[in-house]
Chains A and B, each alone.
Chain A
Amino acid sequence: MDDQTGSPELFLFLASTVHDMKNSISVLSGTLENLLVQAQPGQEPQGYPQMAHMLYQTRRLNDNLMQLLALYKDLGKPDYPFDPRPVQLGELVQQVADQGRVLLQSKQITLDLEYDPEAIGTFDEDLVIGVLAHAINNAVRYTRDRIRLAITESDGWLEFRVEDNGMGFPPSMLEAGAAVGKGVNFLTNSSGLGLFFSSEVARMHRHRQRNGSIALENGGLLGGGCFILRLP
């Protein structure tokens, strides 16, 4: 009896509640997306920007729930069902871009993509999609009208950059980005959860004594905030 995760009843209860919440969020964001897509270009109905914002908030909810759940499931420890496999970058980008498509369109944000679609990386696809989709969502908040997702490969590292053309991250955010994963009390910061999740996902990717990492900086090609995920 080496199970240490509390009582089984509580776990079942949590699991079914989470299942329920996921369903609700799915229906919420799905319905919003359908409404937004149906709007004719040039003659958007009243409340269109508000709907776009509702979608953004729904996505934030979804991201937070997913991150909490992953941490609850011991992300970063051997208990987490970590599953790295070879993935074609073209397929990865398609899935990430499609998740943000309607939201970006409705907020009139352009997504630039720069990657080699034929290239293959080995990583946990679901987790990396989660990290990148969250970074793009986050950039929606900071950008003016353009976000860039770029993936490059050099020296055995795969580098994912999510950049925007906004004013850049505030200093508190950059500090949180530098502190995460270094034992600093990150959760006092409002962006702490997403950063911690991302850094744990990065850290789980190990290859030849090298661990993945994340970083936040300002500048990049678009001059705004940059989120960087590096995987070995």
Chain B
Amino acid sequence: MNSPLPTVKKIGDITDVDWSEKRYLIVDDFVGIRQLLRESLRNIGARHIDQASSGGEAMTLLSRTHYDVVLCDYNLGEGKNGQQVLEESRARNLMIPSSVWLTVSAEKSVESVMGAAEHQPDAYIIKPITEGVLLTRLNRVWHKKQIFREIDQAYIEKDYLRAAKLCDEQIAANKIHEIDLLRMKATLYLKAGETEQARAVYERVLEDREYNWARTGLGKIRMANGEYETARQMFHNVMAENRFYIDAYDQLAASLQMMGRHEESCSVLENATRLSPNSVPRQRNLGNTALRIGNIPLAEKAFRKCIAMGEYSIAKTVDPYFGLARVCGQKNDVKEALALLVIARRDFPGDMAELRAKITEGMVYHESGDYRRARKAGDELEEMLKADPARPDTATCMEMATLLFAVGVKDAPVELLCHVIRNNHDNQVLLDDVHKIFEKARMNEEADDLINSSRREASDIMNKGVLLWKTGKLTEAVQWMRQARQRLPDNMRILFNSAQMIITHMQKHGYDEALMTEANGVLMHVDQIAAGQQRFAQLIEQLQQLIPGRGITPVQPEAVELVEVDEEAAIDDDIAALLSEPAPEPPKRRSRFDHDD
């Protein structure tokens, strides 16, 4: 018989991928299906095929071998399901970036439309699986991974602006992936703080078709602009159209929180966790929100779920332990609260866990009415602060100061709040919050003096750095800012200026490995404190261009403007006079690596 379907035989011709040399893993609890899939894989030329009949067995195999392709059923009977196996192997880095994960299910899964917020496999396949579908999806994923490889790399390096440019290049060559690339590009612009450019991408996409992610993206931009009510409506509309687009739930909850509508926010998060219970950050968010509105049973459930799931999640953090300890305190179960704090200290060394455990301990005693022990915790906290000059993030510092005042300690919280002001000397909203804490501690009179002198200290330090730089003492300026960072480790302007000066130094005097590492470290620290800033993205792009061999793109006109620190200093009256002077010119061409003066 002649084959009546010559076109179908050529399935493998679309791309030049050789699927026969890849390593495959089939995970299904049903032996018949495993045999069938193995047969199909053999038909497309596969030779190395392993099988697992349960999630546990799959994990064992995955930790031994790097598979190129994993075909994993969603429903695996007892034990882990396919999604958990996927999440665990990603969390434990068992998959290499080029490997393909296909989730197999009996019916179209809700997870497939939940959006980027959830862990997604590379593709979903619905049973029964035919070779045509299998090969088509494998080729498609492979092709897509090729297209995104460089973009993903730039993304990992946080060079968002370069990644966005790479998206444009790929769109021109790959029409079929245009929508995915545009989605990525918009995300990159959001990360780079370029909201207007992100908005343009979303609007362009929506002109053609209604996509949940684009609508949600526009909502995020509104939210970033402080238009919380408009944003809330937009997220709400997305949810009305598609009940499973989970990203819209998270965003809706965030917009409600910004408006102080914590009760509503909590119920949105509760619905979201019902739809998709296996996200650690979402459960943690729910726990904190529930704790805030005093819904203790809900908070407890969320934190417990968080801890149970956290075992193999990338998102495993110490936070739910502290949250649950607070819950136990409110339930007057001090014993369990303390037990949780012991675990937190033991399992999360570093991360300021000691300090935070002590704060939580104080709060637990305080809230359960044991003021004597609360005071003791406060004293111990004060000792810890004296012993170690490192300070936790702003929110924790303020939490700690509030507690210390509440239990009657005075010097340590004042010092903490001054630290907060020095590191956020131009953030008026935060300064107001600090003022409120002082007021609550009946320190109204001292508050203004303390705030003003701390602000003054920060701006004096920065101005001296700018002055050195403006007078051409570049090396001294870099050195001064290095010290400034020690005194003001979380001050955004100091950090940005410091990175800026190091970059300019390299632009003038050539690439330097140590300076490169230093600038990168400073910028990563900035990103950790507050992600999504325009200046961060711009500086990272400039920094990446300095790497030898990378400098294809010449320094761009807007980059030239960037090296002026003027506007940074503009908030400080003393330095205003300097503004009229022109900033030193950065090198116009990038051929000066050998130049050393």
Interchain CB contact under 8 A, A101 and B5? yes
Name the CB-closest residue of A to B275: A3
List of A residues within 8 angstroms of B5 by Cβ: 97, 101, 104-105, 110-111
CA–CA, A62 and B107, complex, Å: 11
Given A22-B106, A26-B36, residue A83 in contact with residue B112 (CB < 8 A): yes
CB of A85 closer than 8 Å to a CB of B:
yes
CB of B515 closer than 8 Å to a CB of A:
no
CB of B243 closer than 8 Å to a CB of A:
yes
Interchain CB contact under 8 A, B30 and A23? yes
CB of B32 closer than 8 Å to a CB of A:
yes
Interchain CB contact under 8 A, B108 and A97? no
Given A26-B127, A26-B128, residue A113 in contact with residue B30 (CB < 8 A): no
List of A residues within 8 angstroms of B240 by Cβ: 78
Interchain CB contact under 8 A, B39 and A34? yes
CA–CA, A98 and B464, complex, Å: 72
Q: Which of A22, A70, A83, A91 contacts B128 (CB 8 A)?
A: A22
CA–CA, A85 and B14, complex, Å: 20
Q: In the complex, what's the smallest C-beta–C-beta distance from A6 to chain B, in angstroms?
A: 15
Interchain CB contact under 8 A, B7 and A97? yes
CB of A69 closer than 8 Å to a CB of B:
yes
Interface residue ranges of A88-130 to B (CB < 8 Å): 88, 90-91, 93-95, 97-99, 101, 104-105, 108-111, 113, 120, 122, 126-127, 129
Among B132-140, B300-308, B538-546, the one that faces the other chain is B132-140
List of A residues within 8 angstroms of B210 by Cβ: 206
List of B residues within 8 angstroms of A94 by Cβ: 8, 11, 132, 136
Interchain CB contact under 8 A, A105 and B4? yes
Q: Which of B106, B108, B132 contacts A81 (CB 8 A)?
A: B108
List of A residues within 8 angstroms of B130 by Cβ: 95, 98-99
Name the CB-closest residue of B to A3: B274
Q: Which of A15, A82, A88, A105 contacts B113 (CB 8 A)?
A: A82
| Size category, B interface | 35 or more
Name the CB-closest residue of B to A133: B130
Interchain CB contact under 8 A, A69 and B4? no
Q: Which of B39, B75, B129, B136 contacts A16 (CB 8 A)?
A: B75
Name the CB-closest residue of B to A90: B14
Given A81-B244, A98-B130, residue A86 in contact with residue B36 (CB < 8 A): no
SS of A interface (majority)? helix
Q: Which of A24, A62, A97 contacts B8 (CB 8 A)?
A: A97
CB of A182 closer than 8 Å to a CB of B:
no
Interface residue ranges of B111-148 to A (CB < 8 Å): 112-113, 124, 126-133, 136, 140
CB of B166 closer than 8 Å to a CB of A:
no
List of B residues within 8 angstroms of A19 by Cβ: 75, 106
Residues of A within 8 A of B (CB): 2-3, 15-16, 18-19, 22-27, 29-31, 34, 41-42, 62, 66, 69-70, 73, 78-79, 81-86, 88, 90-91, 93-95, 97-99, 101, 104-105, 108-111, 113, 120, 122, 126-127, 129, 206-207
List of A residues within 8 angstroms of B32 by Cβ: 23-24, 26-27
14 contacts between A and B (CB under 8 A): A2-B271, A26-B33, A26-B128, A27-B33, A86-B179, A91-B136, A93-B7, A95-B130, A97-B5, A99-B132, A105-B1, A105-B5, A108-B4, A111-B5
List of B residues within 8 angstroms of A15 by Cβ: 75
CA–CA, A69 and B108, complex, Å: 9
List of A residues within 8 angstroms of B594 by Cβ: none
Interchain CB contact under 8 A, A73 and B108? yes
List of B residues within 8 angstroms of A81 by Cβ: 108-110, 112-113, 244
List of B residues within 8 angstroms of A82 by Cβ: 113, 242
Given A34-B39, A99-B133, residue A78 in contact with residue B242 (CB < 8 A): yes
CB of B176 closer than 8 Å to a CB of A:
yes
Interchain CB contact under 8 A, A98 and B131? yes
Name the CB-closest residue of A to B125: A126
Map CB proximity to A onto B240-253 as digits: 1 under 8 Å, 0 otherwise. 11111000000000
Q: Which of B8, B36, B178, B244 contacts A101 (CB 8 A)?
A: B8
Q: In the complex, what's the smallest C-beta–C-beta distance from A10 to chain B, in angstroms?
A: 16
CA–CA, A73 and B33, complex, Å: 24
CA–CA, A111 and B241, complex, Å: 38
Interface residue ranges of B560-587 to A (CB < 8 Å): none
List of B residues within 8 angstroms of A104 by Cβ: 4-5
List of B residues within 8 angstroms of A122 by Cβ: 209
Q: In the complex, what's the smallest C-beta–C-beta distance from B78 to chain A, in angstroms?
A: 11
CA–CA, A83 and B244, complex, Å: 11
Name the CB-closest residue of B to A88: B176
CA–CA, A30 and B33, complex, Å: 9
CA–CA, A86 and B241, complex, Å: 20
CA–CA, A73 and B106, complex, Å: 13
CB of B225 closer than 8 Å to a CB of A:
no
Name the CB-closest residue of A to B129: A26
List of B residues within 8 angstroms of A78 by Cβ: 240-243
Q: Which of A18, A98, A129 contacts B11 (CB 8 A)?
A: A98
CA–CA, A3 and B271, complex, Å: 10
Given A81-B109, A85-B179, A110-B4, residue A30 in contact with residue B11 (CB < 8 A): no
Q: In the complex, what's the smallest C-beta–C-beta distance from A4 to chain B, in angstroms?
A: 12
List of B residues within 8 angstroms of A120 by Cβ: 175-176
CB of B60 closer than 8 Å to a CB of A:
no
Interchain CB contact under 8 A, B39 and A86? no
List of B residues within 8 angstroms of A66 by Cβ: 107, 126
CA–CA, A108 and B2, complex, Å: 10
CB of B3 closer than 8 Å to a CB of A:
yes
CA–CA, A3 and B176, complex, Å: 38
List of A residues within 8 angstroms of B244 by Cβ: 79, 81
List of B residues within 8 angstroms of A62 by Cβ: 128
List of B residues within 8 angstroms of A97 by Cβ: 5, 7-8, 132
Name the CB-closest residue of B to A33: B130
Name the CB-closest residue of A to B4: A110
Name the CB-closest residue of A to B244: A81
CA–CA, A92 and B244, complex, Å: 25
A-B pairs, top 8 by smallest CB distance, nearest first, are A98-B132, A41-B1, A27-B32, A26-B128, A22-B106, A30-B36, A81-B113, A110-B4
CA–CA, A84 and B245, complex, Å: 13
Q: In the complex, what's the smallest C-beta–C-beta distance from A103 to chain B, in angstroms?
A: 11
Interchain CB contact under 8 A, A25 and B128? yes
CA–CA, A2 and B275, complex, Å: 12
CA–CA, A232 and B136, complex, Å: 24
List of B residues within 8 angstroms of A206 by Cβ: 210
List 10 other contacts, CB 8 Å, given A34-B39, A81-B109. Answer: A18-B106, A23-B30, A24-B32, A73-B108, A78-B241, A79-B244, A84-B209, A98-B131, A99-B130, A110-B5
Interchain CB contact under 8 A, B109 and A30? no
CA–CA, A29 and B130, complex, Å: 10
Given A34-B39, A110-B4, A120-B176, residue A95 in contact with residue B106 (CB < 8 A): no
